[in-house]
A and B are shown apart, each in its own frame.
Chain A
Amino acid sequence: MVLQVGFIYFASVIVFCAVMVITRKNPVHCALFMLPLFFHVAGIFIMLDAEFVAAVQVLVYAGAIMVLFLFVIMLFRGEGMKDTASFQASWPVIAPLAMVLMGFIMSILVRASFNGVQGKYTIEAVKAAGNSQAVGKVLYTDFLFPFEIASIILLVAMVGAIVLAKKKAD
């Protein structure tokens, strides 16, 4: 019972913040509504016994990405804050289409049965080993090569961001 109430609280805050993000006119308000959304998604992760991912969610999304977004929004003083013509003219047509898409996905969800192959990492086994340790073990054994690729992606992002954003010397 407590779990259900908790889930409904987290889910309703997430959906409310998401709607606010796409309807507010001021970009700063949009970015600030993302913040509680990220924290509540982390809460959902904790309900799913994924403590490590929840911590990373708060650190990376709420800590790093949001700060980056707010910095950039505040760089564009006049233009970024301007609230004229913030929606496409065709939004009354597109919004019902998005509702139809949601209806499609929900109709698939109620019919589908999710009986996949059960893995060996039961909740008790993960709890006994510690969530971070279990995730780390899988990350550094089964997913070692993707992990190295991820480091290359980060390097490319670092160099790319500097090259793209720096002023041309002329």
Chain B
Amino acid sequence: MIPLSWYLALSAAVFCIGVLGVLIRRNVIIIFLCVELILNSVNIALVAFSHYLNSLRGQVFVCFIMTVAAAEAAIGLAIIISLYRNKETLNTSEINILKW
């Protein structure tokens, strides 16, 4: 039997790698991929808790998170396309019109 903390440690590791990716990358699409990484780490933690606490709520929540992730991917990629049409770049250092 694998202890619950192993799964949570894996989830924490993937979460931190995802956060690191969001912070250090410049390409908008890769930042977006890292957000998917973070969502996946949360899914691992939820399913692990659902298994060890004998409850199905974690698994149902994972279904909702996947719905939101799919919607987020569709909307986000549409935003990136229209951004590229206006700014001709995917580099976050050059997308700075909101900065003051």
Contacts and interface: CB of A to CB of B under 8 A. Distances in A.
Interface of A: 3-4, 7, 11, 14-15, 18-19, 21-22, 27, 30-31, 34, 37-38, 41, 44-45, 47-50, 52-53, 56-57, 60-61, 64-65, 68-69, 72-73, 75-76, 79-80, 85-88, 90-91, 94-95, 98-99, 101-102, 105-106, 109-110, 114, 116-123, 126, 134-135, 138-139, 142-143, 146, 150, 153-154, 156-158, 160-162, 164-165, 167
Given A22-B20, A72-B77, A114-B52, A119 B25 contact: no
Interface in B1-16: 1-2, 4-10, 12-16
B12 A102 contact: yes
Q: Specify the main secondary structure of chain B where it touches its partner.
A: helix
A15 B90 CA distance: 26
Interface residues of B, number: 73
B73 A154 contact: no
A57 B16 contact: no
Contact of B19 (A68, A72, A98): A98
Contacts of B5: 109-110, 114
B97 interface: no
Interface in B39-74: 40, 43-44, 47-57, 59-60, 62-64, 66-74
A72 B81 contact: yes
B98 interface: no
Given A61-B66, A101-B19, A164-B81, A34 B51 contact: no
A50 B10 contact: no
